[in-house]
Chain A
Amino acid sequence: MKRRIYFDHAATTPISPKVLEELGREAGLIGNPSSLHFFGRQVREQVESAREEIAAALGAKASEVIFTGSGTEANNTAIKGLFWKRAPRKVIVSTSIEHHAVLDPIHWLVQHEGALHRNLQVDRRGCPNFRQLKEIVDQEGDEIALISLIHTNNELGTVIDLERISSIIGGIPLHLDAVQSLGKVNFNFQASGAISAAISAHKVGGPLGVGALLLRHGIDVTPLLHGGGQERDIRSGTLNAPGILAFALAIKEMKENFNSQVEKVKGLRARMIAIINEKVPDASFNGTGDAPGILNVTFPGTDNEASLLLFDSAGIAASTGSACSQGVAETSHVLLGIGLSESEARSTLRFSLNHRNDMDEVEYFGEVLTNVIAKARAAFAAGSRS
């Protein structure tokens, strides 16, 4: 049996054993939380307790948690919902290194709803240009429907400086894509200054198919889904009660172990960087390292199509960090956004670690690294010849 090592936790995390147990137990419960009878009440009580736990863990009020089916849905709800609610304001501000779950709804609004997109530049590490942000706010403040920023970048691990941003934007609504923040960095909704934030269960040891939009109390957005009026009338649809309970447990586990887990991941990251520096001295690292689990590495003279395959063949799961839903992997817009060239971006891989990895796995990575990169370089050279 080939050894398999999972270094792609930014894509999704394995469900925690306790959470899995909880999910199995809850899946057997009878009752729609909207029903008035005993069964409904029983489930509803548990869902509301879960809502309170999640809210408390993230510095939000219970009424500020709106459950969704995914982080993508939460981002779409916030961006489209706020844009429509704040009509006739047309301007949306975001960076070019947002996740597609943010970029694409904005693009859709530009194409179909007359939105005007202002692209906030970022530096080589993925940090927004505050001077430009101030200029946009000064010039178009009244016209801005919302500002949408990724809190922890999924490819780079860079965390934005919320204090600086809040001081610049004043009362303009700020939406945060915080999907990658849970479990990796401290995130407190109250302190963030944001009006809304998207989160997702499966990035933090919870189940797939559950997310939430944290939406400031008293703020209303135009819903995407109409129906039974669940979730403050913002997200209709029968609540995924087992998923929500499992989500709450995953967040609870994360909070309880946060410091020790982050310290462990920091140690793994440091060792991995040392190995890469030793074996591939011309490799370079992208991002700030704020979220220690995300390690974004450029291996010059390779093509990530080949290196990903070779790592996979050696039993190590990594990622090119880019969507390939259309078949052909696109060059990462995030890496191009921070100023990497097309060829640098195409020679870059993301390894994302979490506390379930161990030093043994990192050492194994070190054992195969030289061979994988040598073969990837040979494949790249063969491609340049043909």
Chain B
Amino acid sequence: MKLIAAMSGGVDSAVAAARAHEEGHEVIGVHLALSKNPQKYRSGARGCCTVEDSHDARRAADRIGIPFYIWDMSDEFHQGVVEDFLSEYQSGRTPNPCLRCNEKIKFAAVLDRARAMGFDGVVTGHYAQIRDASIDGLSFRAMYRAIDPAKDQSYVLAVLNGEQLNGAFFPLGDTTKEKIREEAKRRNLAVAAKPDSHDICFVPSGDNAGWLRERLGSETGAIIDESGEKLGEHRGAYTYTVGQRRGLGITKPREDGAPRYVLRIEPISNTVVVGERDSLAITEIIGERVIWCGPAPKAAMSGADSGSARGLVQVRAHGKAIGCSYTMVGGSDRDDDGDVNGKKIRITCDEPIYGLAPGQGAVLYDGDRVVGSSTVLETR
């Protein structure tokens, strides 16, 4: 096959490209430039947006012996990821930009471009597995969790529909990170010991609140409890996260000394509502932007609001998966490519989830198989 290997300059994508090349595929390495001025988003060598990172990627490609190019995806990234990130926060929601980047950039803009140029797909260093699966006699390419639970990235890849999965290749899902580093060393890749990136790649120094304040201003507003009593002032409501406990800036402690948590953010009144931990518990999620990573589960689709399917739901990249039932509600029917227009999903959890914010991704699993994803609209 002819494959584009997206190479960030890190160890994972370098080994992924090397493995694909070794398997006999015609591989071309591509580094995605996500900013016109590569130093703009971040300095240091932990991300994937710096000049050093592109040099590391080029060096790895040279060592592997594959051609290497830099694709300017800065406009697409800015529109699809950075602006989305800002506007979501502005609306009082908590977005996951990695999910959006996979959905809009790596497996959309890049994959579309690659396919148009005659390539079969995109190889990345994500930790997830793709295997053929068969359900009700229907065979399809399915995505499963990586074998290394600490590195499993199936959560941030659950935005890929069946068509995108057909062009996605994750050669690392069957290996632990430790083994990948050893393999990188064996392959003489200079990035073998390069530290992992953890923060949001376009936020310098990992100071999310400061970055948001710079762009969205720091208009002060009230921090109130559930009864409406004012407990303090905030410097920009969007710098708070649902479930947050520390650094709230509350001047009035509770009489019983129990901690308070952010329950919700109300952007219109610029208010942060806090309360006790029990108030964070939710058992029902209404999700929008439903995407099935393969065939839609029949039980969830059958008849308006009547059926339901069983599975697991996970709401954070490395959170616990919890038993749940889910069903599609409202909107129009499912369209052909697996996306669902206008329909929402109702997920009923077997046990409470704490601190889930609108905007986060709710990913559904069947055992280790990724069934689909949605963006949290509201919780109850």
Contact = CB atoms under 8 A, between A and B. Distances in A.
Interface of A: 305-306, 308-310, 312-313, 324, 326-329, 375-376, 378-379, 381-383, 385-386
A327 B115 contact: no
B36 A382 contact: no
State the 9 A-B residue pairs at the shortest beta-carbon distance, nearest first: A378-B116, A382-B112, A328-B33, A379-B116, A327-B54, A382-B116, A386-B109, A327-B38, A379-B117
Interface of B: 28, 31, 33, 35-38, 51, 54-55, 67, 69-72, 74, 76, 104, 108-109, 112-113, 115-118
Contacts of A313: 28, 67
B31 to A, nearest CB: 7
A309 to B, nearest CB: 5
A382 B113 contact: yes
Contacts of B117: 306, 309-310, 375-376, 378-379
Nearest to A310: B117
A326 B116 contact: no
Contact of A328 (B55, B67, B74): B74
A386 B112 contact: yes
B67 A312 contact: yes
Nearest to A385: B112
Contacts of B116: 375, 378-379, 381-382
Contacts, number: 63
Given A312-B67, A328-B36, A328-B72, A386 B31 contact: no
Nearest to B80: A386
A329 B35 CA distance: 11
Contacts of A326: 37-38, 51
A372 to B, nearest CB: 9
Contact of B70 (A328, A379, A382, A386): A328
B72 A329 contact: yes
Contacts of A385: 112
B176 to A, nearest CB: 31
A328 to B, nearest CB: 4
Given A309-B69, A386-B104, A386-B112, 8 more contacts: A305-B70, A309-B67, A382-B109, A382-B112, A383-B109, A386-B76, A386-B109, A386-B113
A46 to B, nearest CB: 37
Contact of A327 (B31, B108, B109, B113): B31
A329 B109 CA distance: 18
Nearest to B58: A327
Contacts of A327: 31, 33, 38, 51, 54-55, 70
Q: Which of B33, B67, B115 has the most CB of A within 10 A?
A: B33
B70 A375 contact: no
A328 B55 CA distance: 11
A383 B108 CA distance: 9
Nearest to B36: A328
A364 B35 CA distance: 37
Chain B CB within 10 A, most for which of A309, A312, A385: A309
A310 B71 CA distance: 13
Contacts of B118: 310, 375
A310 B116 CA distance: 11
22 contacts: A305-B69, A305-B72, A306-B117, A308-B69, A309-B28, A310-B117, A326-B38, A326-B51, A327-B31, A327-B38, A328-B36, A328-B74, A329-B70, A329-B72, A379-B113, A382-B112, A382-B113, A382-B115, A383-B109, A383-B113, A385-B112, A386-B109
A6 to B, nearest CB: 15
A315 B335 CA distance: 42
Contacts of B37: 326, 328
Contacts of B69: 305, 308-309
Nearest to A328: B33
B72 A386 contact: no
B56 to A, nearest CB: 11
A322 B72 CA distance: 14
Contacts of B33: 327-328
A312 B118 CA distance: 14
A324 B33 CA distance: 11
Contacts of A382: 109, 112-113, 115-116
A383 B115 CA distance: 11
A381 B70 CA distance: 19
A310 B31 CA distance: 16
Of A308, A312, A375, A379, most B-chain CB atoms within 10 Å = A379
B90 to A, nearest CB: 24
Contacts of B71: 305
A385 B36 CA distance: 21
Nearest to A306: B117
Most chain A CB neighbours (cut-off 10 Å) among B55, B67, B72: B72
Contacts of A309: 28, 67, 69, 117
A81 to B, nearest CB: 30
Nearest to A330: B36
Most chain B Cβ neighbours within 10 Å, of A309, A324, A328, A378: A328
Contacts of B51: 326-327
A386 B67 contact: no
A329 B72 CA distance: 7
A306 B54 CA distance: 18
B184 to A, nearest CB: 22
A324 B51 CA distance: 11
A312 B67 CA distance: 9
A313 B33 CA distance: 21
Contacts of B70: 305, 324, 327-329
Contacts of A376: 117
A312 B117 CA distance: 13
Nearest to A375: B117
A309 B108 CA distance: 19
Nearest to B69: A309
A202 B267 CA distance: 63
Nearest to A381: B116
A324 B71 CA distance: 11
Q: Which of B55, B67, B115, B116 has the most chain A CB within a 10 Å cutoff?
A: B116
